[in-house]
Amino acid sequence: MLGGGIMIHTIYLETFGCQMNEYDSGIIRSILKQHDFEFTNHVDNADIVLINTCAIRESAHERIHARLAGLKHLKRERDLVVGLLGCMAQNLKDDLIKPDSVIDVLIGPDGYRKLPNLLTKAITEHRHSMEVSLSEYETYAEIIPEQTDNVTALVSIMRGCDNFCTFCVVPYTRGRERSQSPESIIREVRHLAVNGVKQITLLGQNVNSYAVNGTNFVDLIVRVADVPGIERVRFTSPHPKDFPESLLDIIADHPRICKHIHLPLQSGSDRILSLMNRTYTQQDFVDLVAKIRNRCPQLTLTTDVIVGFCSESEKDFMDTYRVMETIEFNSAFTFMYSERKNTIAERRYSDNIPREVKVDRVSRLIELQNKMSHKLNRVLIGQEAKVLVQGEAKKSKDQWMGRTDGNTIAVFPKTSEEICPGKTATITISDATSHTLIGETISSFP
């Protein structure tokens, strides 16, 4: 309790979903701490539970509904305010706020500035509150999110999306595309660098389309990479439809811009790509990959793939399979299509691929990708790699874990007191699995 009898409320915040949600949770923390709310890592110590949600996958919805059911039981035992935030709150608002709902506060991604006031009302007036309007302007530009990682940090450069892929709910949960000013981005990156962060990942639904007053994404990423103290800069995600050659040149030539591109394929079938409104063909994608690898042969290439999209035939699937075989991505995130409310696909197409077919297809792609990842990683045995150390390995406290410039996980023994999180170690790769490089330390750098 503060002087004057003001009650301090304690919040337990859970985050589901993508990197943008993680970033938004940092914004939420910063806003609420400015209004004298505190945070705890244990739900039993909290009188407010906030869940920052994702709307992209059905699995995320299922986990969140299960969490809400558990909170209903907890709410019966003690006085507790529950807030549902983010994309699921925006997309399913009409289904979530009901008289018997466990949710007291419902806020979409553009409403976080109103969170302190709505939480206070929920506590003092015991009534439901909702803020789910989308903004054409909100970027939270002057708010520096609280970071939980001292080595790497996420920085949002834009919000929303104008692409309207038919499977995607983002334009309806995060609104239309708008870019944050380069000045506010650089201010945030400088703040992070001063606090010891070594690696920045720039976030946007389509970073290629970043534009503010004549500054494009290539201009921005160079300015970020040139901030003193920043050693590595990554970005996600570009769209294959408009990948500029100037960006490829910068990736190839700038020593602090990582040689890694995450380039979402989604499907290798021209028919499915058209239904998805991806605006490129299989050949367009293959040609772009050839251009990328010709300009930067050492680059690591990763992707996203959706299987079982509406009306996907075995032939459509095999087109995807063969493209992945041909390109040989270093790794891939493969997903079964799940229909999202309010998307174009939900309105136009039938989600008519049986679940067992989706499971079979995604299993075949995962098996293929694991073989390719294993092969590509084992080619690196005997070579040296620079690894930015992020912390202890999950499986052994006697090993450090970090990532290479190409974003591959690497582990190696703790053989030097000079090495710690935030430092870059040079290792010799002695073994490799499909997901991890295993190495021996050669040297370390500050």
Using one digit for the tens of pLDDT, what is the confidence trace for 67-84? 888 888 888 888 899 999
Residues 167 and 113 in one domain: no
User: Is 310 inside any structural domain?
Assistant: no
CB distance 337 to 316 below 8 Å:
no
Residues 151 and 246 in one domain: yes
CB distance 199 to 151 below 8 Å:
yes
Distance CA 12, CA 402 (A): 29
Distance CA 219, CA 238 (A): 15
Model confidence band, residue 6 (pLDDT cutoffs 50, 70, 90): low
Residues 189 and 253 in one domain: yes
Hunting for tokens 């002695």 — which residue is that?
A: 430
Predicted pLDDT of residue 5: 44
129 has pLDDT over 90: no
User: Is 368 inside any structural domain?
Assistant: no
User: Is 30 inside any structural domain?
Assistant: yes
DSSP H or E stretch at residue 107: strand 105-107
* pLDDT tens digits, 390-443: 999 999 999 999 999 999 999 999 988 889 999 999 999 999 999 999 999 887
* pLDDT tens digits, 268-298: 999 999 999 999 999 999 999 999 999 999 9
User: Is 338 inside any structural domain?
Assistant: no
Average pLDDT value over all residues in the chain:
93
Of the ranges 94-108, 186-200, 333-347, which one carries the lowest mean pLDDT score? 94-108
17-35: average pLDDT: 95
Of the ranges 29-38, 51-60, 389-398, 420-429, which one carries the lowest mean pLDDT score? 51-60
Phi, psi dihedrals of residue 16, rounded to the nearest 5°:
-115, 145
108 has pLDDT over 80: yes
Model confidence band, residue 446 (pLDDT cutoffs 50, 70, 90): low
Residues 62 and 155 in one domain: no
Predicted pLDDT of residue 445: 62
Q: What is the DSSP string of 40-97?
A: -S-GGG-SEEEEEE--S-HHHHHHHHHHHHHHHHHHHHS--EEEEEEHHHHHTHHHH-
298-313: average pLDDT: 98
> Which amino acid does the sequence have at 71?
L
Q: Quick one: which of 169, 175, 166 has its CA closest to 344?
A: 166
Distance CA 247, CA 258 (A): 12
Predicted pLDDT of residue 1: 41
Of 131, 157, 175, which marks where a domain is finished? 131
Work out the angle between the directed axes of helices 217-225 and 245-253 (0-180°, nearest 10).
10
> Which amino acid does the sequence have at 221?
I
Distance CA 343, CA 379 (A): 42
Phi, psi dihedrals of residue 125, rounded to the nearest 5°:
-110, -10
Of the ranges 116-130, 161-175, 341-355, which one carries the lowest mean pLDDT score? 116-130
CB distance 409 to 435 below 8 Å:
yes
Domain limits at 225? Answer: 138-258
Residues 108 and 164 in one domain: no
Residues 102 and 214 in one domain: no
Distance CA 336, CA 342 (A): 18
- Percentage of the chain lying above the pLDDT 70 cut: 96
Residues 127 and 50 in one domain: yes
Predicted pLDDT of residue 2: 42
Predicted pLDDT of residue 64: 84
131 has pLDDT over 60: yes
CB distance 257 to 220 below 8 Å:
no
Task: List the beta strands (DSSP E) in 180-299.
Answer: 199-203, 211-212, 215-216, 232-236, 260-262
CB distance 364 to 442 below 8 Å:
no
Which one has a higher pLDDT value, 244 or 93? Answer: 244
Which one has a higher pLDDT value, 442 or 32? Answer: 32
155 has pLDDT over 70: yes
DSSP H or E stretch at residue 121: helix 115-125
Q: What is the CATH number of the domain that holds 40?
A: 3.40.50.12160
C-alpha dihedral, 92 to 32 to 234 to 139, nearest 10°: 70
Count how many domains the chain has.
Answer: 3
